[in-house]
Amino acid sequence: MDLSLSLVAREPSQGLSPSLNGLPRAPPPKTAKKPKKAVLFFEVEILDAKTREKLCFLDKVEPQATIAEIKNLFTKTHPQWYPARQSLRLDPKGRSLKDEDVLQKLPVGTTATLYFRDLGAQISWVTVFLTEYAGPLFIYLLFYFRVPFIYGHKYDFTSSRHSVVHLACICHSFHYVKRLLETLFVHRFSHGTMPLRNIFKNCTYYWGFAAWMAYYINHPLYTPPTYGAQQVKLALAIFVICQLGNFSIHMALRDLRPAGSKTRKIPYPTKNPFTWLFLLVSCPNYTYEVGSWIGFAIMTQCLPVALFSLVGFTQMTIWAKGKHRSYLKEFRDYPPLRMPIVPFLL
């Protein structure tokens, strides 16, 4: 009897596992799969800003797409307009959108209309600067060494007897060699290219003034400054200080922008005393640049140099005012005491 009862009692253990109340456990419920979120794609219509002609229609554009990515998509249908030539804007006469602007953050609907303008053939800023600065360096040396067909045969390859002429050549050459080296190893450009047509205008300005001032400074009839060595020494001190200041500002601006990025920060003075001018102006690199040419004008006492300084100051003031307005617009905590280029005045 005991043996049979024990066998019967063991039989349930061979089937489903009994629960606490002796009944079999129910199978665990299946977890419901979460439905996938639907992605809302954009449609982008690109029209010619002048004729309103439809140039391209992009379907299923991701909302996180940037303007740079849209330009690349546009280039696939119009290879002649590579991204650097494209200006895309929300209004035909409005401002160009930035490459980093995100589509879904723009004031457009799911069907966005963008207007295209051709910026023309482009050239890299590095190439532009190298061309602009190499020309004056080479042209000035032609006049300094008095190559034939400039001053007359009896002056071919002769040397000036005035020490200030040789000092001026050293200063002029140093300035443009410095600029070339900064272009290659210091400057970081927020825009990679500029219109090719602008290089002819820029080179005419730099090359033309270099030839004009070099012709008079190295002329056989050139006369030294009125106040002699004292005037030259004072001017040289101004030139050297401003050149060091200009280089210091360029290095400080370089450190604000990591390589390959377009981030913008408020520039502040560093431990370098030459950067303390940031306390008073937004663009001290232009301030030092103008100061260098004023020193060069005093050193040589040459009218073309003075005119070059005046024209340069006018143009750099325009650039400085533009950058100053941009800083004020972008940064609410921008230092209020700063002026664009001249402390307390301009």
Specify which residues 114 forms β-bridges with.
Answer: 46
Whether residue 173 has pLDDT greater than 50:
yes
Question: What does the alpha-carbon distance between residue 134 and residue 171 come to, in Å, rounded to a whole number?
Answer: 15
Calculate mean pLDDT across residues 205-233: 96
Question: What does the alpha-carbon distance between residue 108 and residue 89 come to, in Å, rounded to a whole number?
Answer: 12
Calculate mean pLDDT across residues 141-170: 95
Residue 219 carries which side chain, given as an amino acid letter?
Answer: H
Count of residues for the chain? 346
- Nearest 5 degrees, angle CA 87-CA 89-CA 94? 110
Is the Cβ–Cβ distance between 55 and 78 less than 8 Å?
Answer: yes
Token couple for 315: 């143009």
Question: What does the alpha-carbon distance between residue 321 and residue 87 come to, in Å, rounded to a whole number?
Answer: 24
pLDDT at 42: 87
Torsion angle (degrees, nearest 10) of CA 304, 310, 316, 322: -150
For the four alpha carbons of 265, 267, 268 and 269, in that order, the dihedral sign comes to: positive
Distant-in-sequence, close-in-space partners of 94: CB < 8 Å, separation ≥ 6: 115
Distant-in-sequence, close-in-space partners of 160: CB < 8 Å, separation ≥ 6: 166, 218, 220, 222
Query: Which of 50, 100, 94 has the alpha carbon at shortest distance from 70?
Result: 100
Whether residue 33 has pLDDT greater than 70:
no
- Residue that the structure tokens 């500002």 belong to: 249
Give the residue extent of every domain in the chain. Answer: 42-120, 123-330
SS3 238: helix
Q: List phi, psi (to 5°) of 96.
A: -70, 140
pLDDT in tens, 100-144: 889 989 998 888 999 999 999 999 989 999 999 999 999 999 999
pTM of the shown model: 0.80
pLDDT in tens, 261-310: 667 889 999 999 999 999 999 999 999 999 999 999 999 999 999 999 99
pLDDT at 214: 98
- 111-118 and 86-89 beta bridge pairing: antiparallel
Token couple for 144: 């300094």
SS3 66: strand
Confidence label for 245 from pLDDT (cuts 50, 70 and 90): very high
Question: What does the alpha-carbon distance between residue 149 and residue 145 come to, in Å, rounded to a whole number?
Answer: 12
Query: Which of 283, 281, 307, 280 has the alpha carbon at shortest distance from 293?
Result: 307
Q: List phi, psi (to 5°) of 317.
A: -65, -40
Is the Cβ–Cβ distance between 260 and 189 less than 8 Å?
Answer: no
pLDDT at 260: 64
Query: Which of 227, 269, 228 has the alpha carbon at shortest distance from 252?
Result: 269
The CATH fold assigned to 42-120 is Ubiquitin-like (UB roll) (3.10.20)
